[in-house]
Structure formats: C-alpha cells, structure tokens
Amino acid sequence: MDKKKQFANVAFGGNWAEEIPTRDQLRTILGVIDNAVNDCQNRDVEDESLHQAMLYVRKNVEKGPMLCEAFFKALRIENQNLRQHRLQEVGNMIRAWAGM
C-alpha cells in the first residue's frame, strides 16, 4: 500500500502536518545554538547564523526574549570555561522551553 493510501485511511487530529516543518526548523536552530556552545572557547561564535537562530527563538519559543538575553549575556563572559558552562545551561533551557 502506498503512503498516500495509508494516510487517506487514517484520521489525524490537530495540526500535525503543519508542525513537521516547524519541528525541522527548530532542530536546525538548536543545532546552530549547540555549535555555538561547543565552539565558544575556540572562536567568536556570534555570527549571522547565530543571530538568526536567536531571532527565531525570540519569536517562537515561550520565554524566548528572556532566554536570548541570557544567552548573549553568557556569550560576553571572559572566562572561556565559565562562558561555555553558562551557554550550555542556557542552551538546555532553550531546548526545554522549545519542547525538544
């Protein structure tokens, strides 16, 4: 049986089809944030992709503005180990509030 027939025979509730691209988008955004956390000791990670990721978080994640502010504040910490530790904490909070 092909996929089209399978889906035609199943009743779905909610807006599951619309959520698929959003979930993929969110995974991509979280990947950018994870890369920034992992690389923050070796290079300046504040680039356009990080800014776009944080803009997405600000607009689409509950508590987004507060989480973005905390992330950028942590990014300014001079001590590399402390910076990475704090960014990881905020990254985990972003992931939790995003439901991932």
Cα separation values, 69 from 2, 4, 13, 51, 85, Å: 48, 45, 36, 12, 16
Tell whether 11 is covered by a domain: no
Tell whether 92 is covered by a domain: yes
Tell whether 32 is covered by a domain: yes
Tokens of 81: 């180990």
pLDDT (average), residues 63-82: 96
Domain count, the chain: 1
Which residue in the block uniquely carries the two structure tokens 């942590």? 74
Is the pLDDT score of 10 beyond 80?
Answer: no
Is the pLDDT score of 99 beyond 90?
Answer: no
Tell whether 75 is covered by a domain: yes
Contact 98, 61 (CB under 8 A): yes
Helices (H), 1-100: 3-8, 16-39, 48-60, 64-75, 80-97
Domain containing residue 79: 18-97
Tell whether 4 is covered by a domain: no
Contact 93, 20 (CB under 8 A): no
Query: To 10 degrees, what angle do helices 80-97 and 64-75 make?
Result: 170
Give the pLDDT of residue 34: 96
Position 14 confidence tier, pLDDT thresholds 50, 70, 90: low
Tell whether 6 is covered by a domain: no
